Amino acid sequence: MKVSHVLSKKRLAACVSAIAVGGTALPALAQLDTPQLEEVVVTGVRAAQQNSVNIKRDADSVVDAISAEDIGKLPDVTITDSLQRISGVQIRRNAGEGTALNIRGLPQVLTTLNGESYLGANSITTVQPNYSDIPSQLFSGAEVAKSQTASMNAGGITGIVDLQTYRPFDFDEGFTVSGAVNGTYGMDTEETDPSANLLLNWNSERIGVMAAVSRQEATLANYYSGVMGDGGWTGFTNETDYGWVSPDNDQFADRYTDGAVDINNDGDLDDRYWAYVGHTAYNRETERERTGANLAVQVDLGAGFEFVAEALVTDLEDNDYQVGIANSDKWQSWSWYDATQSTDHGSVNTVQEYTTSGRRIKSYSSVQAQTAESQNYNIELNYDNGGEFTGSFRYIRGEAEQERLNSYTDVDLANGSQWGVECQYYPDGTAGEQGDCADGQLQTNPGGYLGYPQLSIDYSGDDPRWSGFDNNANLSINGDSVGEARSIADYMGDVNSYALGAFASENNFSREGELDVARFDGEYRFDTNFFTSVEFGVRYSERSVDNFEFDLLSPVNGCDVKWKATDVIMDGGGVDGACVAGDGENYYAAGVPTPLADLDPIQVSDFGSVSGVPSIWAVDPRAMADVEAYHEALYPGTHRSIFPGRSYEVELEELSYYAKANFETGIMSGNFGLRAIDSDLTVVQNEVGAAQAYGAAAVDAGDITTERSLDYLLPSLNLRFDLSEDLILRASYARTMAPLDLAQWGGGLSPNYVLDSNPDSDTYNQFIVSGGNANGNPELDPWEATNYDLSLEYYMGGASSLSVGWFYIDVESFIESGTVQMELPDQDGVVRRSVPISTSIQGDGGVLKGVELAAKLAFDDFLDVPMLSGFGVDANYTYSPSESGNQGMDGQELPFQDNSEDVINLVGWYENGPLQARLAYNYRSERVAGFNQTWGEGTLWQEPTAYVDASVSYDINDYVSVFLNASNITEEKETYYLEYEDQFAWQNEYEARYTMGVRATF
């Protein structure tokens, strides 16, 4: 599978021809000169606010922006955290740090670097923003454009974020040195993380050279509790599904009727309840190391010509460590629990407390180890000699690589009898205990509990509460004694009660991306009474990604195996021609009996705000950080094996032209224009062939190539009316489009399998399909929308303004995530069942609309109150209702995914001489995180969040300042629920973090 990444000669010739036709002079580069440009530059409290008000007032557009000092001085960890202070911007967090964002409710936001495309190491497949790999100190600022003009790159439905780096001529003539060092303390991790950055610049007026480097380390608390897995690990239970209950079962005795249980004791058997495969409480920490460097050369060539060459390099190492308890029924029955607290919502009963009789209580350890690096280069020739013609020619080259490997261990507390693997066959000489097992067999966990211990998980409060650990772990599923009385807590405290149940590495990927852009932009200025200038340009771009997804397979008894588990029997799993291993009469198990004590375990007792869980022994997830080396040490010969259904190549070529006319007459000014885009899409996917055994992906049976042409015409109009000296009215219209994440075109079907441990099943001890993902479809269409904006701005002082804006976005084509039922084969190739598949779905007819209110107030501007001198406020509110066309289980209209209807930002500031202080509050109302989560029903919601941050800085002199920042002071959590607020799904818990440091500039 190979798609050429060489610039098309035909397309490049078209660019050159267009440049030649444009004239010999090089017109001006199209920057973010859009209408609706609103500046939020924060270089020093009042002065910064006054500067932002003046920029907004004088512009013929609205740009929202942050400056580098803003990033350094506001109580924000990343650029994303700072951007959330702008009206209409909503962010998502990972491990407490802002990473991705949307504007006005949609994540279809184009990211550019100095006005052009770039490749981010964490967003290789998409142009949408994810800034977790980028050290913020490398940037001089970031601008947000909410409305678009013809001169801007297409790719954002609701806006464009332009990241801006330093250039040598930005600094005073001579030599400049600037740097900072700081340490950040996490309240839960109790770790102090260092960070440092240095910038060197030399400006001789005609020639400038700049070099900057940044290094950050962070250890972030990131606790998780709730459902094991995602929406695909949820289901429904009917009251008639309790055939496993015996008439003399004490737990259900008064509610049992002929194989059914009246769970809520309401006198009927027609209720259904939300069910989970398992419940978890994890200690999770994320370790990040960011390194970035920026080099720029700027030369004044004379005669109006300027040459710029730049390189931006980033490197990220990101390890997510997770360890804790999991309680499940091992995919054997959705009815493995009693809903001891529930609420009837008509179509379904939500469950607030689950009392479970789990087959499998285990410790779980995992690592997600990721490396990401990017290199972006820019060569630019600008021309402006003060005449009618100005312009620019640029060439952009981007390269990025990202690799992620996962490893996990299931360490069982059960002895395995609960799912028929108490004893398994192994080759002669295998270490272990035979106990009461037959000849040739060994016990998989001789120290494990024997029964089905009852545990309760109560989700009705602010945080999950577990109980029942004093219950006898050696009672059968119906309450009969099967061994000596011993509590599950006692087993958990004894390291000899644990043995390795499963060990695997799957869902790994290695991807590479490339970007080439050649563009020419020109402007011709007129001296007339109406038209002031005409801008025009041509742009060619080629973006590609090569995505290789793989599992790690290990040689076990001569066969390649993904799941090294005690319940994986090497009999071929029903797959014709599969490798088998045994003694001629019996088949061996793939997972060797391994006591946890042999794996240098750790004991974990910190699960964040979850209460009631005793300490548990587990594999140290940090020991698996080098995933391939760890697997190789335990299973020599471990190797990568392609997952064809999720491996692909995609190439997107675009040739675009634009023309824009700027005009001014009386109180009115503005621009109108048209951008034409001709794009070619090539998608190479793998045809999935015959099944393979032991968890290995199906065979790659060849390539499937899809080619499409996509063409667009994008008109735009932007108007400004100066109604008075202090009152400005703006209006705009634009057609917008956004290409899909390339994975949404390239990815294929990826089924999930579980082992059938039901002895009465026709597929006992075989891997059966349980769900999966199908997130790639080359026939999906890009996002398209029509945008309307109207705003009114009132200026009431040097640093004070009030504004109100209205927007309406008619989204005609969009993509949403959902779940569909598909009939798929089990791993032996036989279709026996319909399962839920998470996928991308084409949507149409959605609407986003709303109002943005903003107030920038320096009280000294309009109040003569000494007590308020030096104080100010920067506040905004966004009301953004939307309609996605989806409906909830009760028929209610649902908003677009990831859109919060209400967003509030409030920053109070104070400045008095060298002292500056800020207190920031950000509120975001509930948002949809996914549609159709459970068997094609049920919406996943995130509850409202409110974050409080603060910062104080003191300038010791003109060169040196010290600062203290505090983020997430209230230790906010992110809580998710299914359809109804009382159906808890899961919770992410982040820590408060405090930073002290010093910065200096000479």
Weakest mean pLDDT among 293-302, 441-450, 829-838: 829-838
Cβ-proximal residues to 867 (8 Å cutoff; 6+ apart), any chain: none
From its phi and psi, is residue 219 left (phi > 0), alpha (psi between -120 and 50) or beta? beta
What residues form DSSP beta bridges with 751? Answer: 772
User: In this predicted structure, what is the pLDDT of residue 71?
Assistant: 47
User: In this predicted structure, what is the pLDDT of residue 42?
Assistant: 40
What is the band of 131 on the pLDDT scale with cuts at 50, 70, 90?
confident
Q: Which of 88-97, 382-391, 681-690 has the highest mean pLDDT?
A: 382-391
| Mean pLDDT rounded to a whole number for the chain | 89
Q: Which two tokens stand for residue 385?
A: 């000699």
Examine the pLDDT at 646 and tell me if it is beyond 60.
Answer: yes
Examine the pLDDT at 650 and tell me if it is beyond 60.
Answer: yes
pLDDT tens for 409-452 read 999 999 999 999 999 999 999 999 999 999 999 999 999 999 99
Nearest one of 282, 279, 269 to 234, comparing CA atoms: 279
pLDDT tens for 934-957 read 988 999 999 999 999 999 999 999
Question: In angstroms, rounded to a whole number, what is the distance separating the alpha carbons of residues 135 and 137?
Answer: 6
Torsions phi, psi of 386, nearest 5? 85, 0
Question: In angstroms, rounded to a whole number, what is the distance separating the alpha carbons of residues 23 and 970?
Answer: 60
What is the band of 8 on the pLDDT scale with cuts at 50, 70, 90?
very low
Query: Hunting for tokens 């960890």 — which residue is that?
Result: 77
User: In this predicted structure, what is the pLDDT of residue 369?
Assistant: 98
Cβ-proximal residues to 103 (8 Å cutoff; 6+ apart), any chain: 88, 89, 90, 109, 144, 146, 156, 158, 159, 161
User: In this predicted structure, what is the pLDDT of residue 21?
Assistant: 34
Question: In angstroms, rounded to a whole number, what is the distance separating the alpha carbons of residues 973 and 991?
Answer: 9
What is the band of 230 on the pLDDT scale with cuts at 50, 70, 90?
confident
User: In this predicted structure, what is the pLDDT of residue 236?
Assistant: 96
Give the dihedral sign, CA 16/22/23/25.
Answer: negative
What is the band of 836 on the pLDDT scale with cuts at 50, 70, 90?
confident
Q: Read off the amino acid at residue 689.
A: G
- Give the 3-state DSSP-derived string for 764-782, with helices as H, strands as E and coil as C: CCCEEEEEEEECCCCCCCC
Q: Which two tokens stand for residue 450?
A: 């024997």
User: In this predicted structure, what is the pLDDT of residue 583?
Assistant: 93
Question: In angstroms, rounded to a whole number, what is the distance separating the alpha carbons of residues 467 and 611?
Answer: 9
User: In this predicted structure, what is the pLDDT of residue 756?
Assistant: 74
Pairing of the two strands 159-165 and 109-113: parallel
pLDDT tens for 55-108 read 677 766 667 777 655 444 445 667 788 788 888 888 888 888 888 888 888 888
Query: Hunting for tokens 């996509």 — which residue is that?
Result: 710
User: In this predicted structure, what is the pLDDT of residue 70?
Assistant: 45
User: In this predicted structure, what is the pLDDT of residue 774?
Assistant: 66
User: In this predicted structure, what is the pLDDT of residue 628?
Assistant: 98
Pairing of the two strands 800-825 and 846-858: antiparallel
Give the pLDDT mean for 589-597. 96
Burial 454-464 (b: 16+ CB within 10 A, else e): bbbbbbeeebb
Q: Which H or E element spans position 19?
A: helix 9-22
Give the pLDDT mean for 396-405. 97
Examine the pLDDT at 696 and tell me if it is beyond 50.
Answer: yes
Cβ-proximal residues to 869 (8 Å cutoff; 6+ apart), any chain: 859, 860
pLDDT tens for 330-342 read 888 899 999 999 9
Torsions phi, psi of 79, nearest 5? -60, -40
Question: In angstroms, rounded to a whole number, what is the distance separating the alpha carbons of residues 922 and 85?
Answer: 8
Q: Read off the amino acid at residue 77.
A: V
DSSP states along 471-489: SBS-B-TTS-B-SS--BHH
Question: In angstroms, rounded to a whole number, what is the distance separating the alpha carbons of residues 98 and 66?
Answer: 15
Question: In angstroms, rounded to a whole number, what is the distance separating the alpha carbons of residues 632 and 642?
Answer: 18
User: In this predicted structure, what is the pLDDT of residue 766?
Assistant: 74
User: In this predicted structure, what is the pLDDT of residue 347?
Assistant: 92
Neighbours of 393 (CB within 10 A): 20
DSSP states along 294-357: EEEEEEEEETTEEEEEEEEEEEEEEEEEEEEEEEE-TTS-TT-EEEEEEEE-SS-EEEEEEEEE
Higher pLDDT, 513 or 83: 513
Weakest mean pLDDT among 288-297, 385-394, 761-770: 761-770
Torsions phi, psi of 446, nearest 5? -65, -20
Examine the pLDDT at 17 and tell me if it is beyond 50.
Answer: no
Q: Which two tokens stand for residue 768?
A: 């059966």
Torsions phi, psi of 58, nearest 5? -85, -15
pLDDT tens for 621-633 read 999 999 999 999 9
- Give the 3-state DSSP-derived string for 921-966, with helices as H, strands as E and coil as C: EEEECCEEEECCCECCECCEEECCEEEEEEEEEEECCCCEEEEEEE
**Extended strands (E) in 826-959:** 831-843, 846-858, 871-879, 882-883, 902-912, 915-924, 927-930, 940-942, 945-955
What is the band of 743 on the pLDDT scale with cuts at 50, 70, 90?
confident
Give the pLDDT mean for 872-900. 92
Question: In angstroms, rounded to a whole number, what is the distance separating the alpha carbons of residues 483 and 485?
Answer: 6
Question: In angstroms, rounded to a whole number, what is the distance separating the alpha carbons of residues 326 and 482?
Answer: 23
Burial (CB < 10 A; 0-12, 13-18, 19+), residue 865, is exposed
Examine the pLDDT at 11 and tell me if it is beyond 60.
Answer: no
Q: DSSP secondary-structure letter at 587?
A: B
Query: What SS3 class is residue 445?
Result: coil
Neighbours of 625 (CB within 10 A): 17
Examine the pLDDT at 553 and tell me if it is beyond 60.
Answer: yes
User: In this predicted structure, what is the pLDDT of residue 18?
Assistant: 36
Longest dimension (CA), the chain: 100
Nearest one of 27, 92, 21, 33 to 673, comparing CA atoms: 33
Q: Are 954 and 960 in contact (CB under 8 A)?
A: no
Q: Are 37 and 145 in contact (CB under 8 A)?
A: yes
User: In this predicted structure, what is the pLDDT of residue 540?
Assistant: 98
Q: Read off the amino acid at residue 210.
A: M
Give the CA distances from residue 96 to residues 285, 471, 973, in Å, rounded to whole numbers and listed in that order.
11, 36, 9
Cβ-proximal residues to 376 (8 Å cutoff; 6+ apart), any chain: 113, 118, 119, 311, 312, 313, 396, 397, 398, 399
Q: Read off the amino acid at residue 585.
A: E
Q: Are 417 and 450 in contact (CB under 8 A)?
A: yes
Give the pLDDT mean for 170-178. 93
Q: Are 283 and 604 in contact (CB under 8 A)?
A: yes
Q: What does the CA dihedral 720, 726, 727, 731 come to, rounded to 10 degrees?
A: 20
pLDDT tens for 796-808 read 988 899 999 999 9
